[in-house]
Amino acid sequence: MNESFRSYLVRHWRGELQLVESFWRIGFGGGLLLGIVEYIVVMAVGGGPAVLRPMLISFTFINAAFLIWVGVGIWRSARRYEDSRFLAVLAQATVVIGGAGFVLDAGLRLAVLTGLLRGVR
């Protein structure tokens, strides 16, 4: 991995990037890119439940790791943001709401995929 790219990832984690960059470029843009890549992989691989089930479970864990990294970076960047306390708190609220939504969605998806919930779609 390129050292400057690795440094960029670490600087985001530490909250050293500007809030607008952490939130929009990494959070929004990175999340959108990750979703597009996952969609392309699912469409390219195709297959039935035997193939899609483990793939979707894997994507859930990949997304969890991404959201933790993104959320920590945005949260820390917001704590350093001095231009507008309102925007900093709004960014942190977005991290909390997005994280809660992910936990609910992922929990239900994993429960359905592993057979804990039957008949729920």
Q: 118 in a domain, yes or no?
A: no
Q: 72 in a domain, yes or no?
A: yes
Q: 119 in a domain, yes or no?
A: no
Maximal CA-CA distance, the chain: 51
pLDDT at 121 over 60: no
pLDDT at 5 over 90: no
Name the pTM for this structure.
0.86
Using an 8 Å Cβ cutoff, are 79 and 22 in contact? no
| Sign of the dihedral through C-alpha 94, 97, 99, 102 | negative
Give me the count of residues in the chain.
Answer: 121
| pLDDT tens digits along 9-24 | 999 999 999 999 999 9
Amino acid making up residue 89: V
Q: 105 in a domain, yes or no?
A: yes
| pLDDT tens digits along 21-68 | 999 999 999 999 999 999 999 888 887 778 888 888 899 999 999 999
Q: 120 in a domain, yes or no?
A: no
Q: 7 in a domain, yes or no?
A: yes
Q: 121 in a domain, yes or no?
A: no
CA distances, 45 to each of 21, 40, 48, 50 (Å)? 33, 8, 10, 12
pLDDT band at 118 (very low <50, low <70, confident <90, very high): low
Q: Please tell me whether residue 15 adopts helix, strand or coil conformation.
A: coil
Question: Which pLDDT score, from 0 to 100, does residue 80 have?
Answer: 96
**86: domain range?**
3-113
Q: 19 in a domain, yes or no?
A: yes
**In the Cβ-directed half-sphere of 28, how many Cα atoms lie within 13 Å?**
8
Q: Return d(Cα 46, Cα 59) in angstroms, integer.
A: 15
For the chain, the domain total comes to 1
| pLDDT tens digits along 92-104 | 999 999 999 999 9
